[in-house]
Structure 1
Amino acid sequence: MLVLGSICFNCLGALLVENFLKAKGELYEQKAQLLLGEVVVNSILVFVGPLFITDLEVRAMNSPWQRGFFSGWDGRVLVCAILWIPAGWTATMLVKRCSNLLKTLAQAFSSVLTYVFSVVPLSSGPRTWAHFVTMLGPPLTPEPVSSPVVLLAISVMISALTFGADRREPKISNRRHTDHQEVPEKWKVDSSYLQVRPRSRQISESSGR
């Protein structure tokens, strides 16, 4: 039930976020509004959520009022924050320009790469990478290789590579080609990804011309 509920809420949230980002407005303003909402919700969960725990010991372990807000913070939190900032912005720009489905496929592709990296032991990689990872904490145990997971990973990678491929449309030239060569084709963005301007703006531009 938790998995099904998570799927339903994620799908609903994806549709609402895409509808919000496709609306009129600058990207940085919309991103700031989304992050402000996340900060408010997360603050309520962090500070108010532990108050509903009846067990005093468990409440003391989870309440920032008793153990401190920055308890457990280290260099890994800073590294994750530095990496998550560009990851969040690129995902938002992808939804703004294209669609949430393409963003989900791109994230699924990254999950596949994460699984591939987790299967290979850390000792098999470069020493510089192994030293950097061990600086942040002990290395994780390699994940077991599973045939269904490998097949699912391959299907996800194929979907991510094929979905959203640009359609090629021939460009008709007014000049006559005496050598009867074919007109070269150019890759164009799919029409479903083109942002439609408001009708009022189109009318004003046409009247100005």
Structure 2
Amino acid sequence: MNTDAQVIPGRMSEVPTADATGMDRRAFGEFVGPQGELASYALGWTTGSDPHAGRITIGIGAGNPGGATFHAVVFPHQGSHAYALVDDPFEQVPQGGPDLTAGQARAHEDLPFIWWVVDRVMERDPRAWWMRHWVVGTQCVQTSQVFEQQEPILHVAHDETGCWHLTGPSDPGPATKTGHLWHAIDEDPTLQSVLDLPAGTCATREAPTRTWTTTS
């Protein structure tokens, strides 16, 4: 299938959970396929919840006989992530039709297209990268200054072994801390734009307000 498609991120909401132990995050966007196919999506996750599982909704064909809204969970699987259709609706999206159960979704003729949209969204929306790192529990090595939020993150490296490193302006030295990458993004959402760094590459910036430069 032609991969010339557009993923257009839209609004994002962040609301503390009722017990104030985490954040409920929901991000929305639109998809335009290579032949003008339209879809809307929503994805989300709740920090503090266990097990870690994200949600994604894809809607197509609003107002048309074949229109429908598909709902799935995103969960850790063999060091990466996988999807499973579910019965309970997650979100309503503009392009969607009636909410489908998992069984109805499996029988729908457009299900292969839906999974293709899901893959494109997960590849191209930075909020999806954030959710994926939360789902799989990606860890990172940080300087003590960064870990204690005494310095901004100016250098992000994703090494050949798959490990992530976050450093600030100071010489990292031997003292480092290990934490979760998603938690670092909680503290500094500007990291979202470099969460798709391939292994063996790094990104640097001169200040938290400056643009990232990626190198291998």
TM range (shorter): under 0.3
Q: As a proportion of its length, which structure holds more helix?
A: 1
Q: Which has the higher strand share?
A: 2
| Structure-2-length-normalised TM-score | 0.26
Which has the larger Rg?
1
